[in-house]
């Protein structure tokens, strides 16, 4: 138990520092501080031009949706980064439990994604004079936490796929683009065709974004507990699928001797 906790916390932090060392301020600021604010401004102005929704709708939706960038990229890098540093095979032959090994890497990712979402929400809200009550920030933080956890589950699936796919940057960008369409960050889910709505209901962030919008409008946390619970269940489901996929593809990679060359 102690070993598992050590692998989860210390191993997770060490792996994050080792694998995400490329995320220096020179990359962090342009991609995770400036870019989300301009994504929000872009959709706010498109919304104004199209005459749909309020500024707040786009600010909250895009701030939460942009958290998917660190969730997807950092989790995938937990595999792709090990491979590029030639250490993946050593990780996969260790007797360490896979659950703390992989989930430990998710914890710093969630913290990073929470910062990205909260910062872009705060700054773009200030720029566009969005009035979020002070009392709403606590519940918003909780909503962002659940949403980033849920999206990190999707990141874990991408990490599993990264055992078989070389072009992880392409994969993550495509998933980010799909989340942009399906999570309702910019388009009310009701405006989407039925089959798209069915997918929206089953992807991470959709319910988190809806909850964040309600909470930012002053709704108490109790009013969004159903949405939060759904988001959390989706997160747990994706995490389980991601973990099983990682184990399955780990075995397959050993069988095919493709750990390092996939």
Partner 1 sequence: MRRTLRLLSVSWLLHVKQLSRSSFDGLLAILWPIFFATVAFFMFRAGGDPDALVYASLGAAVMGIWTATSVSAGSALQRERWFGTLELLVAAPAHFSLVLLPLAFATSAIGIYCMATTLLWGRFAFGIDIAFEQPLLLALAIPATILSIGALGFLMGVSFARYRAAWSLGAMTEYPIWLICGFLVPLSLLPGWVHPISWALAPTWGMQAIRESATGGSPLPDVGMCFFLGGIYVAIGVLVTESVLRSARASASLSLT
The contacts of residue 84 (CB under 8 Å, 6+ apart) are: none
Q: Does 189 bind partner 1 (CB under 8 A)?
A: no
Question: How many angstroms separate the Cα of 17 from the Cα of each of 29, 30, 31, 60, 219?
Answer: 17, 20, 18, 30, 38
Q: How far is the CB of 187 from partner 1 (least distance, A)?
A: 4
Nearer to partner 1 by Cβ, of 174 and 198: the residue is 174
Nearer to partner 1 by Cβ, of 65 and 152: the residue is 65
Binding residue for partner 1, selected from 3, 34, 236, 240, defined by CB under 8 A: 34
Q: Pattern 104-143, binding to partner 1, x per CB under 8 A?
A: ----------------------------------------
Binding residue for partner 1, selected from 1, 51, 194, 261, defined by CB under 8 A: 51
Question: What dihedral angle (degrees, nearest 10) is formed by the CA atoms of 252, 258, 7, 21?
Answer: -140
Q: Rule CB under 8 A: which of 158-187 touch partner 1?
A: 167, 169-170, 173-174, 177-178, 180-181, 186-187
Q: Does 39 bind partner 1 (CB under 8 A)?
A: yes
Binding residue for partner 1, selected from 4, 13, 14, 31, defined by CB under 8 A: 31
Question: What dihedral angle (degrees, nearest 10) is formed by the CA atoms of 231, 237, 242, 248?
Answer: -170
- Please answer whether residues 152 and 116 qualify as being in contact, where contact means their C-beta atoms are separated by less than 8 angstroms: no
Contact window for partner 1 (CB under 8 A) among 38-46, 134-142, 143-151, 231-239: 38-46
- Which stretches within the chain are classed as H helix? 2-6, 12-19, 25-28, 35-50, 55-66, 68-84, 88-93, 98-104, 106-127, 137-161, 168-182, 194-200, 206-216, 225-256
- Please answer whether residues 161 and 245 qualify as being in contact, where contact means their C-beta atoms are separated by less than 8 angstroms: yes
How far apart are alpha carbons 15 and 109 in whole angstroms?
A: 11
Binding residue for partner 1, selected from 42, 93, 198, 236, defined by CB under 8 A: 42
Q: Does 27 bind partner 1 (CB under 8 A)?
A: yes
- Please answer whether residues 68 and 31 qualify as being in contact, where contact means their C-beta atoms are separated by less than 8 angstroms: no
Q: How far is the CB of 244 from partner 1 (least distance, A)?
A: 27
Q: Does 9 bind partner 1 (CB under 8 A)?
A: no
Q: Which residues bind partner 1 (CB under 8 A)?
A: 22, 24, 26-27, 30-31, 34-35, 38-39, 41-43, 45-52, 167, 169-170, 173-174, 177-178, 180-181, 186-188, 191-192
């Amino acid at each position: 138990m102690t070993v598992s906790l050590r692998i989860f916390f210390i191993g997770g932090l060490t792996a994050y520092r080792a694998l995400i060392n490329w995320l220096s301020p020179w990359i962090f600021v342009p991609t995770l501080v400036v870019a989300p604010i301009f994504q929000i401004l872009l959709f706010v102005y498109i919304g104004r031009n199209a005459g749909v929704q309020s500024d707040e709708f786009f600010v909250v939706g895009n701030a939460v949706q942009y958290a998917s960038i660190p969730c997807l990229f950092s989790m995938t890098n937990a595999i792709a980064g090990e491979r590029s540093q030639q250490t993946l095979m050593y990780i996969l032959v260790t007797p360490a439990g896979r659950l703390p090994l992989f989930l430990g890497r998710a914890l710093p990712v969630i913290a990073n994604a929470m910062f990205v979402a909260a910062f872009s929400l705060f700054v773009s809200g200030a720029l566009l004079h969005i009035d979020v009550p002070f009392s709403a920030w606590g519940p918003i933080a909780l909503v962002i936490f659940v949403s980033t956890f849920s999206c990190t589950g999707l990141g874990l699936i991408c990490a599993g796929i990264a055992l078989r796919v070389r072009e992880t940057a392409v994969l993550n960008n495509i998933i980010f683009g799909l989340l942009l369409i399906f999570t309702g960050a910019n388009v009310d889910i009701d405006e989407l065709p039925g089959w798209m709505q069915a997918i929206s209901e089953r992807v991470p962030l959709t319910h988190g974004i809806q909850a964040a919008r309600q909470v930012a409008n002053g709704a108490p946390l109790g009013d969004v507990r159903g949405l939060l619970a759904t988001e959390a269940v989706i997160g747990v489901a994706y995490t389980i699928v991601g973990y099983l996929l990682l184990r399955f593809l780990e075995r397959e990679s050993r069988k095919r001797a493709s750990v390092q060359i996939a």
